[in-house]
Chains A and B, each alone.
Chain A
Amino acid sequence: MAEENKTYTIPIGPVHVGLKEPITAWLQVDGERIVDVRIRPGAIHRGIEYMARERNPIQVIYLAERICGICSFAHIVSFVRVVEDATGIPVPPRAKYIRTILLELERIHSHILWAGVACYTLGYDSAFNLGMLLREKVMDVLEAMTGNRVNYGVGTIGGVRRDITPKVAKAINEMLDYYNREFSYFYNVVTEDPIVKARMRNVGVLSKENAIRYCAVGPTARASGLRMDLRWSSPYEAYEDLEVEPVVPQDYLGKVHGDVFDRFFVRVMEVYQSLDIVKKCMDGLPDGPIMHESKPAKLLSLLKEAEGVGQSSIEAPRGDDTHAIKLTKGEENITWWKVRAPTYANAMSWPIMFKDQEIADAPLIINSIDPCISCMERMLVVDEKGSSTMTTKEELIKLCRDKTRRLMHR
């Protein structure tokens, strides 16, 4: 009995059946109980920001789209907004509404996918199949509107490339009816099941204080009771005309637990909210052009003459998606581009959620923030000798200043 407090280290990842994308979580376990966690990303860095530096803004639209497969349009809108911010290109009102509709359709499919996958992680496969069945309808609408099921490729600087034709409008209205009729089945099947409730309630709790301290964003923060939503606090595109209230569990259930069930609940309620927004946008869709400059060659020369820094944050399905850019006059390629995907902010709260949970709950907790690891990984430190080192703050500042000096002497 001498080694009573001995803990063991169990790695989950980098590649693991419980994970959709590579990330490593080192769990310190005492029996079945998780005592401490270290999250170690860095397995799927792709160097997208570097690739963007040898491309012009029109080419980077499609690169930005490929940051994430699920929230691709959110990344496009964020990117074209920073370019519009840097160059001062106006967007016609109809294009703003079409962007909003597409963003909300994407949110619907992302949230239904997540809800299905959460059921699958629990082992509730029939609910997973039901979720996938429901998601098929919104995918059909996206296909009818843009021609593609993922990576729509319809955003452009100063507008959108595809219009809402009467045929598409009909498909969207049919979809709204379908979801208003069918979606409650899925919701009831999952939330009224006692086993699902037992697996999700009080699992992976993130309190309101910790959500603030660790800067959680999006549905993860809202499930902890924080009233934050960029569509509500700093509206962009057509959200300026609409009234979007953040969905928080205390408004519906009366009490906040901040657990996986609350995160499920918030996402399901946001699907209803998105349906409502799409309906309002369809009713108030203004007429007019969908692009500020319909000739891409003219747009290209306009962008070449632009000089400035742009910044934009939008509410992607997983949280705040922030982009920043610098364009230099006379240079066709962008000077630099920075992306912060929502998972980066949410991954910080993983260790808190893991505390005192069982190992069996670990995949569910990892999935509960809807992680998108390849979106998140923007930086990688490569040591040439192949050894791992720790860098102190002073060393980092020295490295940073050295780089400035190198650039000055070039």
Chain B
Amino acid sequence: MINKMFLMILKQFIKKPFTNLFPLARIPDHLTAILKKVEAGEAKINTPLPTPEGFRGRISYDKGKCIGCRLCIRVCPANAISYIAEEKKIMVHIDRCCFCAQCTEICPVQCLSMSDEFLLSSFDRKKQVVAGSN
């Protein structure tokens, strides 16, 4: 049966894939094993594409700059920011964050910013908290 759809499918044989490629062509038998192999340099995966301009990823926080004004807590839609009263600093819970970047806009000293990091899932809950370095 030759109709228009058939011609379209034939055309797609010679075209490049339109969407982004998966990391691997097939599902591996063991996911962590293949990731270890990639780290050791024995296997190769398709690297993720670069993030677009203006991408909102994991929040980074400059603790030294923060003045503890608590404006970010007032605008956070997901209640992802908690206040540490002793230090007069904040703590961002990434597992609750909805990546709206409203806190980075309201911050009067620009101590919060959005990074490009997006692979955030982890078994360790302590990694899901951004509390600044110093």
Chain A residues near B (Cβ < 8 Å)? 55-56, 58-63, 66, 126-127, 130, 133, 136, 143-144, 146-148, 153, 161-162, 167, 185, 188-189, 192-193, 295-297, 300, 332
* Docked complex Cα distance between A126 and B51 (Å): 30
Are A58 and B18 in contact, with the CB atoms below 8 A?
no
A56-B74, A133-B18, A167-B53 known; A297-B108 Cβ under 8 A: yes
Are B75 and A126 in contact, with the CB atoms below 8 A?
no
CB-nearest residue of chain A to B103: A296
B62-100, CB under 8 A of A: which get 1 and which 0? 000000000100111110000000000000000000111
* Docked complex Cα distance between A59 and B79 (Å): 9
Are A153 and B101 in contact, with the CB atoms below 8 A?
yes
Are A143 and B77 in contact, with the CB atoms below 8 A?
no
- What would be 11 A-B contacts, judged by CB atoms less than 8 Å apart? A58-B77, A58-B102, A62-B78, A133-B18, A148-B56, A148-B99, A153-B56, A161-B105, A188-B4, A189-B3, A189-B4
B101-134, CB under 8 A of A: which get 1 and which 0? 1100110100000000000000000000000000
What residues on A are CB-neighbors of B78 within 8 Å?
A: 62
What residues on B are CB-neighbors of A62 within 8 Å?
A: 77-78, 98, 100, 102
What residues on B are CB-neighbors of A153 within 8 Å?
A: 56, 99-101
Are B8 and A126 in contact, with the CB atoms below 8 A?
yes
A58-B102, A62-B102 known; A162-B77 Cβ under 8 A: no
Task: Output the residue of A143, A297, A300 with the most chain B CB within 10 A.
Answer: A297
* Docked complex Cα distance between A315 and B93 (Å): 36
What residues on A are CB-neighbors of B55 within 8 Å?
A: 147-148
What residues on A are CB-neighbors of B106 within 8 Å?
A: 295-297, 300
Are A63 and B77 in contact, with the CB atoms below 8 A?
yes
Are B5 and A136 in contact, with the CB atoms below 8 A?
no
What residues on A are CB-neighbors of B98 within 8 Å?
A: 62, 66
A58-B102, A153-B100 known; A300-B75 Cβ under 8 A: yes
Let me know if B48 is at the binding interface, CB within 8 A: no
Instruction: Report the count of interface residues on B (CB-CB < 8 A).
Output: 27
* Docked complex Cα distance between A3 and B77 (Å): 59
Number of A-B residue pairs with CB-CB distance less than 8 Å in the complex they form: 71
CB-nearest residue of chain A to B57: A147
**In the complex, how many angstroms separate the beta carbon of A323 from the nearest chain B beta carbon?**
17
Let me know if B9 is at the binding interface, CB within 8 A: yes
What residues on B are CB-neighbors of A133 within 8 Å?
A: 18-19
- Say which residue of A58, A146, A147 sits within 8 Å of B75 (CB atoms): A58
Are B8 and A60 in contact, with the CB atoms below 8 A?
no
Let me know if B54 is at the binding interface, CB within 8 A: yes
* Docked complex Cα distance between A61 and B102 (Å): 11
**In the complex, how many angstroms separate the beta carbon of B101 from the nearest chain A beta carbon?**
7
**In the complex, how many angstroms separate the beta carbon of A302 from the nearest chain B beta carbon?**
14
Are A296 and B18 in contact, with the CB atoms below 8 A?
no
* Docked complex Cα distance between A370 and B71 (Å): 40
* Docked complex Cα distance between A162 and B71 (Å): 21
What residues on B are CB-neighbors of A296 within 8 Å?
A: 75, 102, 105-106
Q: Give me 7 other A-B pairs in contact (C-beta within 8 A), A130-B5, A189-B4 excluded.
A: A59-B76, A62-B100, A126-B5, A153-B56, A193-B5, A296-B105, A296-B106
**In the complex, how many angstroms separate the beta carbon of A55 from the nearest chain B beta carbon?**
7
What residues on B are CB-neighbors of A60 within 8 Å?
A: 77
* Docked complex Cα distance between A6 and B19 (Å): 52
Are B77 and A55 in contact, with the CB atoms below 8 A?
yes
